[in-house]
Amino acid sequence: MKKLREGVSTGSCMTGGAAAAALWLVTGKCPEVIQVETPIGKTLYLDVIPKEPGVCGVIKDAGDDPDVTDGSEIVTRVELLSEDGEIIFKGGEGVGTITKEGLKLPVGEPAINPVPRQMTREALRKIIGDRGAVVTVSVPGGEELARRTFNPRLGVLHGLSILGTTGIVRPMSEEAMKDSLLVELDMYARQGHRSILFVLGTTGENALKARYGEFRCILQVSNYIGFMIEEAVERGFTDILIGGFVGKLVKVASGTMNTHSHVADGRLETICTHAALHGASRKVIGRIYSCVTTKAAMKIVEEEGLMDIWEDMAEKAALHCKKTAHEMADVGIIFLDGDDQVLARSSNVDKMLPRVLAAKDSQAAQDNK
C-alpha cells in the first residue's frame, strides 16, 4: 500500500509567514525559504511568497489529506511596535471569529488556535526579542471554504480556523475523524449541556429538525455511535437521542456500534429475526433475506403487515446503546424511513424530547409527535 504523504498545517504556514515577514522588517531582505520548528520536533522548510515588507504568504500543502484548505495561500502580516510587549493576534480576510463559548478561545477572538499562536510567538521571539508585535493572518477565499467545514456548527463565523497541534497534517484517518467529532462534543460539554442529539448525517439532522424543531445541541457522529456514546458519558451527558435512517441504525439493534459497512452489516439478518418473532412465515423471511437493500426489505415488511417490528428494533437498539453507556445515560432511538419521516421510536423518546430540544420548541414537538 502506498504511504500517504503528510502535509503542513495552517498554523505552520502562519508561523512561517510571520517569521519571514519579521525577518524582512529586521534585515531588509525577504527569505525565499523559511524554517519552521513544529511541536513534535519535525523541521519544515516552507517556500515564501513575498508581498510587501512585513507581509508574506505560504501555500498550504495538505499532503494526501482531503483538506479544503489545500492549495490556499496563508498570508501573514507582522507590524513591529516601538516598545517591548506582547505579540497580539488578529484575524484578517477569510479567518473566522469565535462566537460561542466552549472552545479553547474566548468569544470575540479570531479563530487562531493556541498551538499556532505559541509556535508563532516562539519563532518571532528569536527574531524580534522582547519587542511587541501585531500579527494579522488572512486566507483569501477562506469565508467560502469555511462553509465546507465544521466551523459554522462550532460557532466560528465568517472564515476558517488556523489549526494544528503538531504542525503536521496527517492524511485523514478514522482517528482524525473521531478527533474532529470530540472537538464539537467538548464544546457542548464546556457550555454545560447534558442532553444531546446524535445524527448520522445532514439528511437525518434536517429531517429531525423539520419534525421536532430546534435542538439544544446536535452532533453528526457518522458511523461512530458506540465511540461517541462512551465519550459523551465520560463528559457527563445523561440524555443521548440518536436519529437516522433505519438502514444504518438497524445495525445497532443487533449490537453493532460502528455502522460502517466495512465493520459489519447484519441488517437483513436483524430484520429477519424480528419478522420471525412477529410470526412471519419462512417464505416471507426468505424474501426479506434475499433483498439487496433495506429499502426493499421495508417494502416486504409493510406488505406483510409486520410494521410493529420497527418499534421492537428501536427498543432493542436503545437497550444496546444504554449498555454501551454503562447505564449512565438514557439513550433513545428514532428510526427514519429514508423519505425523511419517522418510522419508529423507542419508548423513552417522549420523555427525552423536552430535555434534548431547545426550550421554546419542546411543547411544539410534543404536539407534533
How high is the mean pLDDT of the chain?
Answer: 91
Mean pLDDT, range 32-61, rounded to an integer = 96
**How do residues 302-353 score in pLDDT, each as one tens digit?**
999 999 999 999 999 999 999 999 999 999 999 999 888 999 999 999 999 9
pLDDT at 192 over 60: yes
CA angle, 323 then 308 then 289, to 5°: 85
pLDDT at 368 over 60: no
**The model scores a pTM over 0.75:** no
Amino acid letter at 278?
H
Q: Is residue 270 classed exposed, middle or buried when 0-12, 13-18 and 19+ CB atoms within 10 A define those classes?
A: buried
Q: What phi-psi label fits residue 45: left (phi over 0), alpha (psi between -120 and 50 degrees) or beta?
A: beta
CA dihedral 178, 179, 182, 184 (to 10 degrees): -110
Q: CA-CA distance, 325 to 43, in Å (whole number)?
A: 42
Share above pLDDT 70 across residues of the chain, in percent, rounded to a whole number:
95
Q: What is the pLDDT of residue 365?
A: 46
The Cα-based distances of 51 to 28, 142, 144 in angstroms read 13, 18, 23
**Residue 195, beta-bridge partner list:** 239
The answer to which of 180-184, 233-237, 285-289 has the lowest mean pLDDT is 180-184
Q: Read off φ and ψ for residue 15, nearest 5 degrees.
A: -60, -45
127-164 burial string, b = 16+ CB within 10 Å, else e?
Answer: bbeebebebbbbbeebbebbeebebeebbbebbbbbbb
The residue with greater pLDDT, 102 or 224, is: 224
The answer to which of 11-15, 77-81, 173-177, 298-302 has the lowest mean pLDDT is 173-177
pLDDT at 234 over 50: yes
Q: Read off φ and ψ for residue 56, nearest 5 degrees.
A: -135, 150
Q: CA-CA distance, 187 to 111, in Å (whole number)?
A: 14
Mean pLDDT, range 11-40, rounded to an integer = 96
Mean pLDDT, range 86-94, rounded to an integer = 97
Q: Is residue 177 within a helix (H) or strand (E), and if so which, with residue range?
A: helix 174-190
Q: CA-CA distance, 342 to 83, in Å (whole number)?
A: 64
**How do residues 30-46 score in pLDDT, each as one tens digit?**
999 999 999 988 999 99
pLDDT at 256 over 60: yes
Query: Is there a contact between 71 and 60 (Cβ–Cβ < 8 Å)?
Result: yes
The answer to which of 2-6, 57-61, 183-187 has the lowest mean pLDDT is 2-6
Residue 74 is placed in which grid cell? Answer: 496563508
Q: What confidence tier does 2 reach under pLDDT thresholds 50, 70, 90?
A: low
